[in-house]
Structure 1
Amino acid sequence: MSTQRRHGHRTHATVATALAAGLLAATLAGCGSGGEKTGDANGTLVFGISADPAQMVPWTATSTQSIQVLSQIYSPLLNTDAEGVPEAGLAELPEISEDGKTYTFTLREGVTFGDGSALDSADVKYTYEKIIDPASSASSASYFANVAGIEAPDPQTVVVTLKQPDASFVAGLTGVNTAIVPSDVDAKSLEAKPVGSGPYQFKSRTPNESITLTRNADYYAGKPGAATVEFRVIPDEQSMVSSLKTGSVDVAIFDNPVTAKTATSGQTESMTVDSLSYHVLQLRATSPTLKDPNARLAIQCAISREDVIDSAALGSGKPTGPITSPEYRSDAEAQPCPEQDLDKAKDYLAKAGKPNGFTLNLMTSQGLYSTAVDEAQNIQAQLGKVGIKVNVEALDSNAYVERWLAADFDAAIAMNGGSSDPNTMYSRYFTKAGSFNKVAGYSSPELDKLFADGIATTDTAARKPIYEEISQRLVDQAAWVWLFTPEMYVVANKRVEGLEERTDASIATLWKASVS
């Protein structure tokens, strides 16, 4: 096999420039004098979350809360730096063959799972083949769509062969949804007792109340700062604020600027972080109500994104198009109705044969994030202006996720995670074989070809026009209505040390934090 060593291989090399201003790692001030670390090695860090994290197998996780917990228990093959660029993790960055089809990963030696067993290439092969298996219903299966085979020639080597070059492949190996699980543990048992190689080990769970993790003293990247991390479920925002002020919760993340400000006191402080995530009105095009693109376009033109931001998100956010990846960011104004246009919305309704409007069932969540219900109600009011009657169904977080995964809805309010690579963001939604295409409800042969073309080269300049066309096709068909990218607010007790500021308020490096 002819290979070339690419120690510095970065699929998205200029991401750092685009994000540097907003994503530089910062450390919250500690309580010790002179900048010395005074963290309690036996301390417990309490992290407040708004919903019960019900998904405990990495490849099934879709809710933010599940991802937050699992990011402490499991390790992906590769990590990302503060700018979202892939870097070494359980393995070094891969050797890539000259034809771009063979990736050779060298694993770190001495890495163990929480149960003491060694993590080796057999575990990586097992995990990835489990994700690829349709029976697993893995959310990350699309990341492996181009994989032809996975081999483990020795305990420290994994060789992945692709059917064709895939510029997004490395990016897909950096998240919780592709984290490595032990091959000798039944995957079903991981739902009750997760076993990973991350900085913390699962200890106990009280449903709808808390999950407790204990330090993994053998964590490959270093000694975790706190002996124990407790994820405490507090659905009510004001209760979360009170818990922060009294010190019973050490860290919480808000998407509401007013709440974050309320939570800031003499004992706490707040960090504002940028986001690649996006809020969206998902329109399932295979729904009988929305199968006519004119009906979807009527919805798009009847909505003022600024009004959603000002009313539901209290001004915290910016209108967005589909792609938030910094190097490929969509023009938020490049769509049929960049501003609300009620006359045009009515024209589309007439074209759809529904001049007097229609009834739309809209699903939203309670607990997954704070603005969801307000967004649904705002959109309900806006669409009412053109005769579209919206029935809002507010579900608890677990019921919402179940309905969403089953594609049992007409429309849904959602906040989705972004990525530095647009293929990682959207191929799983808008390609025919995508993991979540049933949920998205929209694909086409033209989109399938565009997505294939987009990963055929690593040349950013060549990829940009492809993703511009993908973005334009999505908004021209009103596959969804993209609303805004939010700002996130991390509020922490001042006794917390070593908490890093990362895009999307990621807590992948929470293990570095401690409490004094």
Structure 2
Amino acid sequence: MKIRKKAVAIVSLALVAAMLFSACGSGSTSSGPQVQSTGTSTEAKSKDNDLVIAMSESVLTLDPHNLTSTMSISANRTMYENLLTFDKDMKNIVPQLAKSYEVSKDGLVYTFHLQTGVKFTDGTDFNSEAVKVNIERCMDKKNNLKSFRYFTKVKEVKCPDANTVEITLKEPYSVFVNKLTNFGIISPKAIKEGVTLNSKAVGTGPFKLKEWDQADHLIVTRNENYWGEKPGVDSITFKVVPEAGSRIAMLQTGEADMIYPIPPEQIKSIDGTKDIKVESVPSNIVDYVTLNMSHKPFDNIKVRQAMNYAIDKDAFIKAVYGGYGDHATSPIASTTQYYSKQEEYAFNIQKAKDLLKEAGYPDGFKTTIWADNTSDSVKGMQFINQQLAQIGITAEVVPMEGATLNAKINEAQNAAESKIDMWFVNWSPSSGDADGAMRGLFYSKMIPPANANTAYYNNPTVDKLLDQGLSETSPEKLASIYAEAQKTIWNDAPWLFLGQRVVQYGIKNYVSNVYMMADGSINCAQATLAH
């Protein structure tokens, strides 16, 4: 079979070039004031060699095949590695556990050449059989893993030798390499022995798990047997701090070396002070509210559209983002592959009232809105409730601890069992592609607990378009397919489309090689501290 060979660092045009073009051309998404970091001290020193990151959300799982949050991804990537990964700007796919790969001309056979001399933290060798075991774990429906969807098109996996793995697909899969950037490889021994991977980690990464208290912290320590360049810090602590003021105080006192997110209203007051600098990164993160279409009155499209018209997006950007961000103009971010801008639901209270009246709710109704209990999420829910009150809708604000919220959403096995009405949340495709930005949220089979379609949205047209996108390789045709999908979803209004944020974080000047990615995850695998 004739094959085309390519270096991993330069990704095939047919697969992701459009993503790279989109990301390169997007620029900053901030419509608010630009952050100019003035922290330039070269004398700042850390009191120790232990990195502490204070973050608003809990790590939900340690299983790299079952990740749903960027904070879980951040922690996992210190302990697990993928065949491929993204560079700092998420513009190129680069090597990690694979040195290079080849794709057959028909797009069906992917051959990966693996790094050598790599071991898992349990002493097991990393090789082609380990990759095969991990893929088979995800393909087994009984395991009910989120990564199952990455491998539905896999026909077979072969291991020609210890350092080569050959994956054959049933049909072309345009974003396959993108998905592999979010597929951590677990020790095959741990898988076969039934290790509880939700709470234990056995990877090849530069760190290994020390302890995890889900509600409070996760600590990893340096893997002294790491195959690559060893990190400069002894340990990393991911500290759960939901209250924004407490995170700021920790950064100012040196109790934390980095915090995320940072309250926009605090940026000017702390940037450049006490060895602190504030960094901003254009993101692919979209904030929204899901509307459970299996519940009345959200089954009525006029109600959903009325609610969209009732939200002042400028006020949202100012109140929740502190002016740093843009309106959402599609179900996906403008920095995401194959983004297509839609006509906004412009703020119009009278139009919203008229639509509610036509839907049979002239006096509005009562409902509930869920979110995690972070300061930003509570602020967002309160803002949405205030906006909807203008058209007679009362949305009771219900904040929950992250793990509790996740459990309540996923306890429903079908739409009839779902208790959620509205969910204020955000999403970013860590795989960088349009399918990753839409499938888990809008595909009919991705309702909880399979994934995050908490709108219980079911449109056969959208399902068909998303499936077509996976097997198409022409960038022009993919642009058309995903544009139609975005337009259909936008018009159906299964969400309140709110905003696209800028990733902003506070960090000490003495910290190096720690940064935020466009998807809101933290890269700290090669962290160093001046001390």
Output the TM-score relative to the length of structure 1: 0.90
* Amino acid across the alignment from 1:469: E
Relative distance call for 1:187 and 1:467 in structure 2 (3 A) is farther
Matched, 1:59 2:59: no
Matched, 1:50 2:44: no
Q: How many residues align?
A: 503
Matched, 1:392 2:401: no
SS in 1 for 2:220: strand
- Aligned partner (choices 334, 340, 343) of residue 334 of structure 1: 343
More divergent stretch after superposition (388-397 vs 231-240): 231-240
Q: Is the 8 A contact 2:84 2:181 kept in 1?
A: yes
* Amino acid across the alignment from 1:271: E
* Amino acid across the alignment from 2:332: I
- What is the alpha-carbon distance in structure 2 between the residues aligned to residue 29 and residue 374 of structure 1? 29
- What is the alpha-carbon distance in structure 2 between the residues aligned to residue 28 and residue 222 of structure 1? 31
- Aligned partner (choices 273, 288, 302) of residue 280 of structure 1: 288
User: Deviations along 1:301-332, whole A, 9 cap, x unmatched?
Assistant: 2222222222222222111121224442231x
SS in 2 for 1:275: strand
User: Deviations along 1:32-60, whole A, 9 cap, x unmatched?
Assistant: 68xxx9999x8211111223323121222
Cα distance, 1:356 vs. partner?
A: 2.5
1:157-196 paired onto structure 2 within 5 Å: 157-175=164-182, 178-185=183-190, 186-196=193-203
Q: Is the 8 A contact 1:405 1:439 kept in 2?
A: no
- What is the alpha-carbon distance in structure 1 between the residues aligned to residue 237 and residue 433 of structure 2? 32
- What is the alpha-carbon distance in structure 1 between the residues aligned to residue 440 and residue 453 of structure 2? 10
Q: Is the 8 A contact 1:256 1:316 kept in 2?
A: no
Cα distance, 1:496 vs. partner?
A: 1.3
SS in 2 for 1:221: coil
Matched, 1:210 2:217: yes
- What is the alpha-carbon distance in structure 2 between the residues aligned to residue 296 and residue 430 of structure 1? 16
Relative distance call for 1:152 and 1:29 in structure 2 (3 A) is farther
Q: Is the 8 A contact 2:122 2:187 kept in 1?
A: no
User: What CA RMSD, in Å, does the superposition of the two structures yield over aligned residues?
Assistant: 2.7
Match of 2:440 in 1: 428
Match of 2:467 in 1: 452
Matched, 1:410 2:421: yes
Match of 2:415 in 1: none
Cα distance, 1:462 vs. partner?
A: 2.2
* Amino acid across the alignment from 1:421: D
* Amino acid across the alignment from 1:90: L
Q: Is the 8 A contact 1:334 1:472 kept in 2?
A: no
Relative distance call for 1:349 and 1:108 in structure 2 (3 A) is same
1:261-280 paired onto structure 2 within 5 Å: 261-264=268-271, 265-280=273-288
- What is the alpha-carbon distance in structure 1 between the residues aligned to residue 496 and residue 423 of structure 2? 10
Q: Is the 8 A contact 2:118 2:227 kept in 1?
A: yes
* Amino acid across the alignment from 2:509: K
Matched, 1:229 2:236: yes
- Aligned partner (choices 80, 105, 115) of residue 74 of structure 1: 80
Match of 1:3 in 2: 3
Q: Is the 8 A contact 1:9 1:93 kept in 2?
A: no
Q: Is the 8 A contact 2:79 2:206 kept in 1?
A: yes
Structure 1 unmatched runs, 5+: none
Output the TM-score relative to the length of structure 2: 0.87
Relative distance call for 1:484 and 1:305 in structure 2 (3 A) is same
Structure 2 unmatched runs, 5+: 30-36, 412-417
User: Deviations along 1:353-400, whole A, 9 cap, x unmatched?
Assistant: 323222222111113xx4211111111111111122212211111111
1:108-147 paired onto structure 2 within 5 Å: 108-147=115-154
Matched, 1:380 2:385: yes
Relative distance call for 1:492 and 1:5 in structure 2 (3 A) is same
SS in 2 for 1:394: strand
* Amino acid across the alignment from 2:396: N
SS in 1 for 2:142: helix
Q: Is the 8 A contact 1:316 1:486 kept in 2?
A: yes
Match of 1:322 in 2: 331
Matched, 1:371 2:376: yes
Match of 1:297 in 2: 305
Relative distance call for 1:513 and 1:322 in structure 2 (3 A) is farther
* Amino acid across the alignment from 1:179: G
Relative distance call for 1:71 and 1:270 in structure 2 (3 A) is same
- What is the alpha-carbon distance in structure 1 between the residues aligned to residue 320 and residue 40 of structure 2? 34
- What is the alpha-carbon distance in structure 2 between the residues aligned to residue 149 and residue 46 of structure 1? 43
- What is the alpha-carbon distance in structure 2 between the residues aligned to residue 129 and residue 348 of structure 1? 50
Counting aligned pairs with the same residue, the percent is 26
Q: Is the 8 A contact 1:289 1:410 kept in 2?
A: no
More divergent stretch after superposition (89-98 vs 42-51): 42-51
SS in 2 for 1:271: strand
Q: Is the 8 A contact 1:4 1:95 kept in 2?
A: yes
- What is the alpha-carbon distance in structure 2 between the residues aligned to residue 501 and residue 311 of structure 1? 23
- What is the alpha-carbon distance in structure 2 between the residues aligned to residue 438 and residue 327 of structure 1? 20
- What is the alpha-carbon distance in structure 2 between the residues aligned to residue 344 and residue 31 of structure 1? 54
User: Deviations along 1:242-266, whole A, 9 cap, x unmatched?
Assistant: 2111112111122521234444323
Cα distance, 1:504 vs. partner?
A: 3.6
Cα distance, 1:72 vs. partner?
A: 0.8
- What is the alpha-carbon distance in structure 1 between the residues aligned to residue 469 and residue 60 of structure 2? 34
Relative distance call for 1:262 and 1:152 in structure 2 (3 A) is farther
